[in-house]
Amino acid sequence: MPENHVVTISRFLIEQERKIAETTTGTFTSLLSNIALAAKVISYQVNRAGLAEILGETEQENFHGERIQKLDLFADDVMQKALDHTGLITCMASEENEFFLPVPENFPSGDYVVIYDPLDGSSNIDVNVSIGTIFSIHSKISDSDRGELKDCLQAGKHQVAAGYVLYGSSTMLVYTTGAGVHGFTLDPSIGEFVLSHKNMRFPDPSRRVYSINEAHYPGWETGQQLLVDYLKNEGDFSSRYIGSLVADFHRTLLQGGIFMYPAGQGAPEGKLRLLYECAPIAMLAEQAGGRASTGARDVLEIIPHSLHQRIPLYVGNREFVDLAEDFLAEEDSAT
């Protein structure tokens, strides 16, 4: 018999919160609901990007020296406005901003810190390839009413929640609060995120897929080169690479495998940002039975030294991440 009810994200959040806390305050539910609202607004604009003159670059450069895409700017603004007035957070940090953002004085302040990459994979916007939003939530640790830098610079293992929104053939919101990973698909007919993937886990690694930008092969350390040589020659792996972290990670989570963005020539620390990209993805991976490493240590253990710190990333099925570490360590000890 067909199910005659849908489980919306709001309902699921309330039920989850009830299970965890004896006296539920609804604070956390409200925070994630605001992020879900921002996701819907961004999704709508992403879907009509070709029609709405919102494709392409602005005249502005960000502090990384990159031309800001119009949709980047839009998504950043939507995230900020969805969160700043809620009274739930003390400050935010966005990949698009050099400094952290204290909640404006005209709004009440709360106990959480939200860190986000408003639109990851910007280079894919204009060619209609999947992009995403990534978020990470911490409890504040300073006494300051409007947050301090140290509230943002916490190790990933202290995240209280993390997730992403994938703007793909459908829009999905996937999150964890430390009790499994759950995925919701946006049903455009009712404008709600509906539970579609409960308790997501990396599958058995029978499907062996590696995901990496292999054009950087000549600039990699020998251990990294040997690892990829092994995966394709002896490991019997296939390869997939979209160039959008959210989409590449989502596929890896659903189908198994390993995603890698190593250090290399021109990117000695790797490309991906610890706070906005790697730490939230690492929490999701661990909650789904996998793991995330820099190639030498667990991503969730790293205490950030700065907001825009970059690290190498290896994430996916536990055994494949362990294997990558072995290759990199072997080469390290040989040199």
**Contact footprint for ligand AHM (CB under 6 A):** 117, 120-122, 213, 243-245, 261, 271
CA 186 to chain centre: 18
Residues between 111 and 130 that touch Mg ion (CB under 5 A): 117, 120
Under rule CB under 5 A, how many of the chain's residues touch Mg ion?
2
Nearest approach, Cβ of residue 64 and Mg ion (Å): 10
Query: Considering beta carbons, is residue 180 or 243 the nearer one to ligand AHM?
Result: 243
Query: Considering beta carbons, is residue 45 or 213 the nearer one to ligand AHM?
Result: 213
Query: Considering beta carbons, is residue 128 or 199 the nearer one to ligand AHM?
Result: 128
Query: Considering beta carbons, is residue 121 or 295 the nearer one to Mg ion?
Result: 121
Kindly state whether residue 248 participates in binding Mg ion, applying the rule CB under 5 A: no
Spell 266-299 as b/e; 16+ CB within 10 A means b: eeeebbbbbbbbbbbbbbbbbbbebbbbbbeebb
Alpha helices (H) in the chain, listed in sequence order: 9-20, 27-47, 70-83, 149-152, 222-233, 245-255, 279-287, 318-334
- Report which of 277, 267, 272 is spatially closest to residue 216, judged by C-alpha positions: 267
Nearest-angstrom CA–CA distance, 33 and 335:
50
Q: Which of ligand AHM, Mg ion, none binds 72 (CB below 5-8 Å, type-dependent)?
A: none
Nearest approach, Cβ of residue 275 and Mg ion (Å): 11
Q: 199-238 mask for Mg ion (x: CB under 5 A)?
A: ----------------------------------------
Q: What is the CA radius of gyration of the chain?
A: 20
Nearest approach, Cβ of residue 52 and ligand AHM (Å): 20
Nearest approach, Cβ of residue 47 and Mg ion (Å): 20
Nearest approach, Cβ of residue 119 and Mg ion (Å): 8
Query: Considering beta carbons, is residue 164 or 175 the nearer one to Mg ion?
Result: 164
Q: Which residue is nearest to Mg ion (CB)?
A: 120
Nearest approach, Cβ of residue 105 and ligand AHM (Å): 30
Query: Considering beta carbons, is residue 135 or 184 the nearer one to Mg ion?
Result: 135
Spell 251-260 as b/e; 16+ CB within 10 A means b: bbbbebbbbb
Nearest-angstrom CA–CA distance, 172 and 187:
9
What's the DSSP call for residue 276? I
Beta strands at 181-187 and 313-316: parallel, antiparallel or unpaired: unpaired
Q: Which of Mg ion, ligand AHM, none binds 243 (CB below 5-8 Å, type-dependent)?
A: ligand AHM
Query: Considering beta carbons, is residue 120 or 151 the nearer one to ligand AHM?
Result: 120
Percentages of the chain per state (helix, strand, coil), in multiples of 5: 35, 25, 40
Nearest approach, Cβ of residue 166 and Mg ion (Å): 14
Task: Report the 10 Å Cβ neighbour count for 191.
Answer: 9
DSSP string, 188-235: TTTTEEEEEE-S--PPPTTS-EEE--GGGGGGS-HHHHHHHHHHHHTS
Query: Considering beta carbons, is residue 28 or 116 the nearer one to ligand AHM?
Result: 116
DSSP string, 2-37: ------BHHHHHHHHHHHH-SS--SHHHHHHHHHHH
Nearest-angstrom CA–CA distance, 117 and 216:
24
Q: Which of Mg ion, ligand AHM, none binds 213 (CB below 5-8 Å, type-dependent)?
A: ligand AHM
Q: Which of ligand AHM, Mg ion, none binds 69 (CB below 5-8 Å, type-dependent)?
A: none
Nearest approach, Cβ of residue 143 and Mg ion (Å): 31
Binding site for Mg ion (CB under 5 A): 117, 120
